Amino acid sequence: SLAWLLPRDTDTVLQRPVASLKPVVAIRPVMTAAAFDAITFAVAANLSSRLGASPEVRVTSPEAVSALNLSGTTSTQIMATLQSDALIELQPVRHDEDGYRATVRLLMAGGLPLTLAPVGPAPDLDALADALASALAPRLRLDPEALHAAPRPPGSRGNDEALEHYARGLRQIATESAAGIAQACASFKSATDADPKFAAGYARWAQCLLTQYRFGELDPPLAFEYARNAVSLALLHEPDNPDALAALADLTAEEQHDWVRAEGEFHEALARDSSNVFARSRYAMLLAGRGRTSEALEQMNEALRSAPMSTALKGYLAMGLHYNGRDEEALALFEQLRSIDTSLESALVGQCRI
């Protein structure tokens, strides 16, 4: 760490951006071995859930980090690409005879890297993630109590094989293409086959199925039936899983057209994870469809802070701007998307519609 170079009266803490915005934090599990490190990935996911429970920050979506977390990519590059205010590097977790140990390195915009004191031994992965959240809270200027959510049931966490399929699915879903979503569906389904109690796998599988339905790749009755079953299994094994609650809200809106109930379910999902991109983006679409376009734009901009590279979210934002009567801004955003990918049909359709 270079923190010792700082003046003694300077505390290395997260600097708040504009008062109306929440600082964005990304979490990178550092993988040093050629093989997938399931334990480190699991602790990173657990830590992400804990930080996401705080209303004081926005946590970058795990799929955005997974897409960039490749060999040769530096944390500084990841931080710049994701436009995050801070990046947490979780070093490989050690499992010793007396428990689990971990170290985190904290990078902050405009500050020097800081390696926190090692954490552990902890008796299990939940306790380790809890201790890491407590160690990070002062540096991120967060209320520690908001981070100590009820631990997930042990059986819902996923075994090593399930976590590897799950991590692959996150990278595939980040492509936002029909082919990538189909591959992600298969990966998340494989994760639940590997561990039938893996709640996160069922929840993400449900989200993929609903996305395939919107792409026109699955007939509505089939998509809704499979998504409903996946959500039920996710909530059976982890009743407070925010991804499952978000998928449930989306299903309520798409299948039942019960807007009031769906809005309440979206609020429930976001209360458990204020950084949940699926919940915010689908809630934004519900609001836009009900004519509440200003609220929809607020939700979409919040979603983009957790997934700034998402072309799908930017397309939704452009349509939201159009519905809000801001056609010049919408056209400029569609043109930007077309300059990035000339084959992006949704952007061309949006331009023609305006």
Tens of pLDDT, residues 66-120: 888 887 888 889 999 999 999 999 999 999 999 999 999 999 887 889 999 999 9
The pLDDT, as a whole number, for residue 2 is 31
Cα separation, 29 vs 164, whole angstroms: 13
Mean pLDDT on 200-220: 96
Q: For the chain, give the mean pLDDT.
A: 87
Residue 33 belongs to what H/E stretch? Answer: none
Q: Is 108 exposed, middle or buried (0-12, 13-18, 19+ CB in 10 A)?
A: buried
pLDDT tens digits along 259-284: 999 999 999 999 999 999 999 999 99
* Most confident segment among 32-36, 172-176, 182-186: 182-186
CB 16 within 8 A of CB 56: no
Q: Which residue has the tokens 């090692």?
A: 118
pLDDT of 9 higher than 50: no
**DSSP state, residue 203:** H
Residue pair 126/43 in contact by the 8 Å Cβ criterion: no
**Res. 14: pLDDT tops 80:** no
Is the pLDDT confidence value at 149 over 70?
A: no
Sheet with 114-115, strands from edge to edge, namely 58-59, 24-29, 86-90, 104-108, 114-115
Q: Does residue 78 contact residue 26 with C-beta atoms inside 8 Å? A: yes
pLDDT at 88 (0 to 100): 95
Q: What is the mean pLDDT of residues 176-180?
A: 91
- This prediction has a pTM of 0.85
pLDDT of residue 5: 29
Q: What would the mean pLDDT of 13-42 be, rounded to a whole number?
A: 76
